[in-house]
Amino acid sequence: MTKKTTLCSKLYMPLKDYPTFNLEKAVCNHGFFMMAPNVWDPSTKQFTRPLRLADSVNSVKVTISQPHDCSLLLIEVHGMECISDLDKEAIRAQVARMMRLSPKDEKDLQEFQNIHPKFKNMGFGRIFCAPSFFEDVVKSMLLCFCSWQNSLTMAKMLCDLQSELSNGLEDNNSCTQGKGLKRKRNVPEYFPESTAKIQSVRNFPSAKELAGIDVEILKDHCKLGLRAKHIHEFAKDYHRGRYRLRNFEKCASHEELYQKLMKIKGCGAYVSNNVLMCLGFYENVPIDTETVRHLQEVHGRKECTLRNAKAITKQIYGSFAPFQCLAFWFELTRFYETKFGRLSLLPSSRYGIVTGSQCGRKNSEENE
């Protein structure tokens, strides 16, 4: 039994093509790293979360660390004694996506850091994102209509739901509450020898998993409110293959991509621009009340509102083109860190407080 819990395989990712890569900086620069199922350990500087295997059905928990010589990333895959080459490839691809380890990302990083020495000195330029396009879109949708704390809670509940789905909801009366959960348990069809030993882990749900359940369950179980309908529709379309990333990447420009994203229900300007940032297109700054607050507070643009924020961001960040978004995010991250300390050292219990609006509220109270 003890042998089962200590099962662990090790993978390595060479970093010779990414000489300035720093795991702590690559992860702790965007609120998404605080969202379940991501776990950052400030004491060990290790990042842990489940990733999908090549079958896209089963998940394994992995812990990523960067040994002191910095020349590679160590990926520890828990609960697996041996891993097929396809699974290794799938895991590495997801890690590369999250950490921005691609020739295109590296080229962007260097161009961005050449704009101003401060970006290079701070090691800033890689925006952490999800291991899949689907998770990026859904998490961006979770940012709407609610507080940051609520977004964190919804992500956590989606992961709880995924855990129950992977354990077979049809057997779980506590969560069905008579609502007729009909989802069939996924039966692994690939690599039976490698998946046989996989223990259930609590991952972010896949499009297939969300498409297979009733929207009301999604709404009630995860407290998604009106987002449930949009996320469910997106999951169904995604599962049908409507949003294959290859199709998106064929777009000639970020503007074309933006128009495609805007056609997704529940995906407005803010969500679309946030997703574009995750996809490595940095020209449009996502504008929400937090952006407005930042422009008012940090840039002294008191006249800034949601209506004129787009024009103001063009004035302020235009000179950073095509990396306006990175420049904005750099400022925002620094603002948070002056308020709350280094994000990479923040205990997870305090993640919910990381918003500028709460700073503003606190400051205004202090000023009164």
Partner DNA sequence: TTGACGCGCATAGTTAGGAT
Partner DNA sequence: ATCCTAACTATGCGCGTCAA
Task: State the amino acid at position 249 in one-letter form.
Answer: E
User: Per CB under 7 A, does 211 bind DNA?
Assistant: no
Stretch that binds DNA, among 52-60, 99-107, 139-147, 186-194 (CB under 7 A): 139-147
User: Per CB under 7 A, does 146 bind DNA?
Assistant: yes
Q: In angstroms, what is the minimal distance from the CB of 352 to DNA?
A: 10
- The site for DNA, by CB under 7 A, has a size of 27
Specify whether the CB–CB gap between 196 and 204 falls below 8 A. Answer: no
Select the residue interacting with DNA from 226, 250, 315, 319 (CB under 7 A): 226
- Which of 320, 321, 333, 327 lies closest to 290 in space, CA to CA? 333
Determine the angle formed by the axes of helices 324-340 and 289-297, rounding to 10 degrees: 80
Q: In angstroms, what is the minimal distance from the CB of 358 to DNA?
A: 9
Rounded Cα–Cα distance for residues 191 and 177 (Å): 35
Count of residues for the chain?
Answer: 368
User: Per CB under 7 A, does 147 bind DNA?
Assistant: yes
b/e map 337-357, b = 16+ CB within 10 Å:
beebeebbebeeeebbebbbe
Spatial neighbors of 275 by CB under 8 A, at least 6 apart, are: 133, 136, 137, 140, 261, 267
Task: Give 94 or 355: the residue with its C-beta nearer to DNA.
Answer: 355
Stretch that binds DNA, among 169-177, 259-267, 326-334, 342-350 (CB under 7 A): 259-267
* Helix ranges (DSSP H) in 168-226: 173-176, 192-195, 207-211, 215-222
User: Per CB under 7 A, does 138 bind DNA?
Assistant: no
Task: Give 226 or 245: the residue with its C-beta nearer to DNA.
Answer: 226
Specify whether the CB–CB gap between 47 and 39 falls below 8 A. Answer: yes
User: Per CB under 7 A, does 230 bind DNA?
Assistant: yes
User: Per CB under 7 A, does 271 bind DNA?
Assistant: yes
Which residue bears the tokens 């603002």?
Answer: 335
Stretch that binds DNA, among 94-102, 169-177, 284-292, 332-340 (CB under 7 A): 284-292
- Which of 20, 102, 34 lies closest to 333 in space, CA to CA? 34
Q: Within its chain, how far is the Cα of 258 from the centroid?
A: 19
User: Per CB under 7 A, does 328 bind DNA?
Assistant: no
User: Per CB under 7 A, does 301 bind DNA?
Assistant: no
Q: In angstroms, what is the minimal distance from the CB of 243 to DNA?
A: 14
User: Per CB under 7 A, does 268 bind DNA?
Assistant: yes
Q: In angstroms, what is the minimal distance from the CB of 89 to DNA?
A: 34
User: What are the angstrom distances between the C-alpha of 323 and each of 58, 102, 112, 320?
Assistant: 36, 17, 7, 5
Select the residue interacting with DNA from 185, 216, 242, 306 (CB under 7 A): 306
User: Per CB under 7 A, does 145 bind DNA?
Assistant: yes
User: Per CB under 7 A, does 267 bind DNA?
Assistant: yes
User: Per CB under 7 A, does 305 bind DNA?
Assistant: no
Q: Which two three-digit tokens encode residue 75?
A: 């990926």
**Cα Rg of the chain, angstroms:** 21
Contacts 24+ apart (CB under 8 A), 251-255: 254/281, 254/283, 254/284
User: Per CB under 7 A, does 283 bind DNA?
Assistant: no
User: Per CB under 7 A, does 270 bind DNA?
Assistant: yes
User: Per CB under 7 A, does 150 bind DNA?
Assistant: yes
Select the residue interacting with DNA from 307, 347, 367, 368 (CB under 7 A): 307
Rounded Cα–Cα distance for residues 328 and 320 (Å): 9
User: Per CB under 7 A, does 262 bind DNA?
Assistant: yes
User: Per CB under 7 A, does 321 bind DNA?
Assistant: no
Task: Give 126 or 221: the residue with its C-beta nearer to DNA.
Answer: 221
Q: In angstroms, what is the minimal distance from the CB of 244 to DNA?
A: 20
Q: State the residues that interact with DNA by CB under 7 A.
A: 143-147, 149-150, 223, 225-226, 230, 262, 264-272, 288-290, 306-307, 357
